[in-house]
Amino acid sequence: MDCRGVFLYNRPMLKIGSLKLESNVLLAPLAGISDSSFRLICREFGVGFTFVEMINARALSYKGKKTKKMLRIDPHDKPIGIQLLGAELPYLIQALEVIESFYDFDLLDFNVACPVRKVCRRGEGAALMKEPEKLEKILKGLIQRWHKPVTVKIRSGWDQDSKNAVQIGKVAEQSGVHAIFIHGRDKNQLYAGSVDYKIIADVKKNVRVPIIASGDIFCAQSAQKMFDETGCDGILVARGALGNPWIFREIDEFLKHKRTLPAPPVSEVIKTLLKHLELSVAEHGEKNGVALMRKFVGWYFKGRPYVRPLRQKVNTVKTKKEFVALIETIPALANQREMC
């Protein structure tokens, strides 16, 4: 048997090199989002593998305090991976030395997918889709230095006229990677437009390492569609988890039993948000923890009739006490427009 995902006793299993995962639904590294508090909340609802935020290798090689803080791992947040961004192998190797000295990650992912303009201008992220020979050298160097599973995250291509994910997938496999993550959009699309399921399926057909697919997984049905349309071995949930850690429980239930779970009641959303707040304050301190949680309020209550005034009010909140007091007014607001 090869190292692809298989279903045993109705439970999804995914092997990435020596790493065996009980679920083939993973949480993506989200810049500015995937701190320890966010990951722990998602763990509560069933995600089996997480990533810390994407890390710039050059910044980490300089041992910056802010970057190192991003790498703190809670003992309950395992197994966990780290995703490095860079284009210069010496800095990437230096970053690995820092990681191995202080942290215990189960997997290393190399980012060839970030579409942000300033990143691509440096020749990093999705810009490496245009330089397969350079990418191959980098991947081989990382695999030689890192003694745990190594993966790569790619896009469908640079633009509509250069959809070269199959070529890059073959380069990655020949370099020795243990799995390929692929977002079904090209660099120019950013996160807009349609996901290209066909090209993910084409990559899957042309390589033997596991393929973990990403793009527009916002509910259990879209997760099932990704599996059905691409034949992928696993999926990577990203924006779909913002304010919605329940998505992992819902995907699991739908994939196993084809049953759609009801949306969580307002009372459960409030309880989860306040626990997220507690974790954020514990991790970052009250001032920074509260500030970071303001944006989550809009995500947790997205689509509800009172979300706009709630977002306006939360932007003035500065303390944990004020935050909690505001959130505790939500049941009264909800009772005016919906059933809890």
What is the set of active-site residues?
A: 114
In this structure, the number of other CB atoms found within 10 A of the CB of residue 270 comes to 20
Give helix 330-337 / helix 266-284 axis angle, nearest 10°. 150
Pairing of strands 80-85, 107-112: parallel
In this structure, the number of other CB atoms found within 10 A of the CB of residue 273 comes to 22
Sequence-ordered strand ranges (E) for 48-141: 50-51, 55-56, 80-85, 107-112
- Asked if residue 29 has a cis previous peptide bond (ω within 30° of 0), the answer is no
What DSSP letter does each residue of 123-165 carry, written as one string? T-GGGGGG-HHHHHHHHHHHHHH--S-EEEEEEEESSTT---H
Q: Is 92 helix (H, G, I), strand (E, B) or coil?
A: helix
| Structure tokens, 327 | 């959130």
- Which uninterrupted H or E stretch holds 212? strand 211-214
Q: How many Å apart are CA 135 and CA 141, to the nearest integer?
A: 10
Count the alpha carbons within 13 Å of 123 in the hemisphere toward its beta carbon: 8
Sign of CA dihedral 197, 249, 180, 92: positive
Q: How many Å apart are CA 208 and CA 16, to the nearest integer?
A: 12
